[in-house]
Structure 1
Amino acid sequence: MIDPITLQQGTDWRAQAEVFDEIFFVFLTLGTIVGIIVVSYTLWNVYKYRDDGGEPDEDFDAPVVGELPTGQGGPKAKKLFLSFGLSAIVVISLVVYSYGLLLYVEDGPDTGDEGDIEITVEGYQFGWEYIYPNDHSQQNELVVPADQRIDLKITSRDVWHNFGSSDLRIKSDAIPGETSETWFSVSSEEVEEQGGEATYLVECFELCGSGHSAMKGQITVVPQDEWEEWYADTGNDSETENSSSVEGDLATPNLKASAAGGVST
């Protein structure tokens, strides 16, 4: 387990993308340092113990093929068990560190029930339908507020799909008759960096038919006040926007979003 204080400051949660980027940076940095040390030490030994054509030193304890140091003394045994000990410390530390962060990614930040937004995502050949708590539904574009944990309940109405966004580091199976769960959060700072409206590509990562490559969508993140105004205008009636179709039933996503008025067609 890992202390939630390590993962969030005040109400600012660590998004999944930030957690995975941190894990990648830690492994890359540590791997680079260890690699430099190992390669440098190997090259130093190659130079130190090179065959220069002279008589070998009488005190030189040359390695023997098939010999395994027992750890009961001698420089070779000490070096071997020192390297094993340091390697074990590094590996165990990385396992504990990454496992704690992955538990956070799996469960999400502990915010209670207040303020969380739960949206049902239903995959179909070949698009995505998003159903909000007030039964409002949209095709292929999900509009959500910044600084909010968004819980997704993902399923499928026909064949196996896989809902995911590489930028947000989320990916979850969409299986007929079953529901998988994931979550994400985007900070208001990131929304401001993208000009007041952040957009992220949604793709299907499971081969699901002839239109698989065109099964794309979009997540649009807007400031909280704009989203509340947009959401209030959706009312309580279920509304389904139709995407443009190609060759009959091949639907392609509408990626021109309007935060104030929903999906434009």
Structure 2
Amino acid sequence: MATSLITYATVVFPLHGGDVRAPSAVFEQIFEVFLLLGTAVGVVVVAYTMYHALKYRDDGSGTDPYADKVERPEMGELPTGGTGGRKVFYSFSISAIIVVSLIAWTYSQLLYIEQGPDPAQEEALEIDVEGYRFGWDFIYPNGHTANTLRVPQDRVVRLQVTSTDVFHNFGIPELRVKTDAVPGQYTSAWFTANETGTYAAKCYELCGSGHSLMTTDVVVMPQDEYEAWYNGTEGSAGSGDQPAANGTATESTSLGTPTAGDVATTGGAPA
């Protein structure tokens, strides 16, 4: 019943990227929680230490100000009294609860990153990514292939990433998306961009002499502009996009391994 309601709601009120948390927002939240909790623990520990260091400091008088309040053990005598280890038990229990809760919460957030926002997948934009030495091909649902990744703002984008030659790793640092590009296999990743602009996609797997030049642009466009651009690519194999800023990527209509001429154009021979 619940699944049917979710499916119905998804069809009637389609979810877009603006309705889900972006991976970048999730990682920022994890960082903020760890930062605040670490700061709070540090303040408590330092304050507790300084309080006792000042309260029980030696005032230089040579006398014990607590001689009439406590019974000091003699040499070789086991100390008595105290709280029976209750302070240790309480402090250990509280610490364990905090640590276990933090681990469970962090795991749930990372699981969300791994699986993606399931209801929103009905409206996700599926793009195939193929890495080669030393560039990237982006294949859209209509068959259009480009070297520059263009995506709409506030829309879930799912990437299916592979490689045509050696191991690569596709990553967009500012959008917190990263996945391996393995020859003969597909790995998936997703993201949503809440702000328009141009971001950099890079290879994070040492793949040869042109590895450092294997970058391209990721252009996040307003949805109406993206739809106009996408409609203009209908039935076209090439994109008409300009090569990436570093000049390493060229327009390609072939999904195979680059030829010798391609390698020369992209800035280096295979390692």
Q: TM class by shorter-chain length?
A: 0.7 to 0.9
Is residue 2:152 matched to residue 1:137?
Answer: no
- Correspondent of 2:64 among 55, 59, 82: 55
User: Residue 211 of structure 1 contacts residue 250 of structure 1 at CA under 8 Å; is this kept in 2?
Assistant: no
- Name the count of aligned residue pairs: 231
Is residue 2:79 matched to residue 1:33?
Answer: no
C-alpha distance in 2 between matches for 1:9 and 1:220: 18
C-alpha distance in 1 between matches for 2:16 and 2:56: 53
Deviations 1:68-97 (A, max 9, x none): x9xxx8336121111111111211221122
- Correspondent of 1:97 among 105, 114, 131: 105
What is the TM-score with the length of structure 1 in the denominator? 0.78
Local SS of the residue matching 2:46: helix
Q: Name whichever of 91-100 and 153-162 sits farther off.
A: 91-100
C-alpha distance in 2 between matches for 1:96 and 1:226: 41
User: Residue 16 of structure 2 contacts residue 120 of structure 2 at CA under 8 Å; is this kept in 1?
Assistant: no
| Match runs of 1:36-185 below 5 Å | 36-52=43-59, 53-55=62-64, 57-58=66-67, 59=70, 74-75=82-83, 77-111=85-119, 113-139=121-147, 141-185=148-192
Q: CA RMSD in A?
A: 3.1
Tell me how far 1:24 sits from its aligned partner.
0.3
User: Residue 130 of structure 2 contacts residue 137 of structure 2 at CA under 8 Å; is this kept in 1?
Assistant: yes
Q: Which has the higher helix share?
A: 2
Is residue 2:217 matched to residue 1:206?
Answer: no
Local SS of the residue matching 2:174: coil
Describe the shift of the 1:78–1:165 C-alpha distance in structure 2 as closer, same or farther (beyond 3 A). Answer: same
User: Residue 121 of structure 1 contacts residue 152 of structure 1 at CA under 8 Å; is this kept in 2?
Assistant: yes
C-alpha distance in 2 between matches for 1:28 and 1:163: 28
Describe the shift of the 1:61–1:22 C-alpha distance in structure 2 as closer, same or farther (beyond 3 A). Answer: farther
C-alpha distance in 1 between matches for 2:141 and 2:202: 23
Tell me how far 1:166 sits from its aligned partner.
0.9
Point out the structure with max Rg over C-alpha.
Answer: 2
Local SS of the residue matching 2:122: coil
Aligned to 2:12: none
Is residue 2:237 matched to residue 1:238?
Answer: yes
C-alpha distance in 2 between matches for 1:92 and 1:120: 39
C-alpha distance in 1 between matches for 2:17 and 2:199: 26
C-alpha distance in 1 between matches for 2:104 and 2:183: 35
- Correspondent of 1:13 among 15, 20, 25: 20
Local SS of the residue matching 1:111: helix
Local SS of the residue matching 2:119: coil
Tell me how far 1:226 sits from its aligned partner.
1.2
Describe the shift of the 1:78–1:245 C-alpha distance in structure 2 as closer, same or farther (beyond 3 A). Answer: closer
Aligned AA for 2:57?
R
Tell me how far 1:47 sits from its aligned partner.
2.4
User: Residue 171 of structure 2 contacts residue 204 of structure 2 at CA under 8 Å; is this kept in 1?
Assistant: yes
Local SS of the residue matching 2:141: coil
C-alpha distance in 2 between matches for 1:113 and 1:221: 19
Deviations 1:167-212 (A, max 9, x none): 001110111111110000012xx22xxxxxx111111111111111
Local SS of the residue matching 2:129: strand
Aligned to 2:258: none
What is the TM-score with the length of structure 2 in the denominator? 0.76
Unaligned runs of 5+ in 2: 1-5, 7-14, 250-260
C-alpha distance in 2 between matches for 1:154 and 1:14: 22
Aligned AA for 1:26?
V
Q: Name whichever of 232-241 and 37-46 sits farther off.
A: 232-241
C-alpha distance in 2 between matches for 1:97 and 1:245: 41
